Homo-oligomer: A and B are copies of this chain.
Amino acid sequence: MGHDSAGTDGASRRIPEATVARLPIYYRALVDVADRDVTTVSSDRLAELAGVNAAKVRKDLSYLGTYGTRGVGYDVKQLLAEISRDLGLTHDWAVAIVGLGHLGQALADYRGFGARGFRVAALFDADPAKIGRQVGGLEVSPAASIRAVASERGVRIGIIATPPHVAQAVADDLVAAGVSSILNFAPALLSVPGGVSLRKVDLAVELQILAFYQSRRSVPAAGG
């Protein structure tokens, strides 16, 4: 998916992209079992909770290191700590959200972030009517101030929830402010300098993928 795998001396082990995408799922499942005061969990059980294959769980976790005990399973707390560390959730990342339409507000209010190592540190919008308003306990700043405000607040991760035609300009501003990871919800193709991670989520795309399988299922009866 492009995450320029900059061969940065790779320090420890290199974790496959597919595995990285599953770590947050294991993480969530582990938080759930930890809440129920369960102390150990087997790969079988974890697989069930995460909706994947048990062998896959074991292989995925083996990339992080050897944290399981044969005959017993994984220590929930220890594994949770390890995944947190690997996902960087111990860092308290400062996040900026640009574009406070419905989606941006949904993200700003999202409870899950705070609990998972993310802190919404800045909100931006171009609409004068929105600037100065409080959303999720934080004041909305003008989009023109992204470079100044985001860099001042140490923002490292930017979320773009703007209309597509301004998304590239916003991305440029974010990068200029020192942001090095961008999550893009705008239906636009962004280009960023090397060294900046970029992920895209497109709600309409997900729906269209569903529609494809849907229309394959229902017999395409004649007559539109």
Which residues of A are interface residues toward B (Cβ below 8 A)? 2-3, 6, 8, 10-11, 20-21, 23-25, 27-28, 49-51, 86-91, 93, 95, 101-103, 105-107, 109-110, 112-113, 116-118, 156-157, 159, 180-183, 187, 189, 195, 197, 199, 201-218, 224
Contact = CB atoms under 8 A, between A and B. Distances in A.
A197 B213 contact: yes
B208 A183 contact: no
A199 B209 contact: yes
Contacts of A187: 28, 112
A30 to B, nearest CB: 13
B107 A203 contact: yes
A224 B90 CA distance: 8
Copies of this chain, complex-wide, total: 2
Contact of A213 (B3, B118, B212, B215): B3
8 contacts: A2-B51, A87-B215, A102-B102, A112-B187, A112-B203, A116-B207, A180-B217, A182-B210
Nearest to A106: B102
A161 to B, nearest CB: 9
A50 B189 contact: yes
Contacts of A180: 214, 217-218
B50 A212 contact: no
Given A109-B102, A189-B50, A183 B199 contact: no
A210 B196 CA distance: 10
> Which interface residue of A6, A10, A201 has the most chain B CB atoms within 10 A?
A201
Nearest to A109: B102
A208 B87 contact: yes
Contacts of A3: 213
A156 B90 contact: no
A211 B91 contact: yes
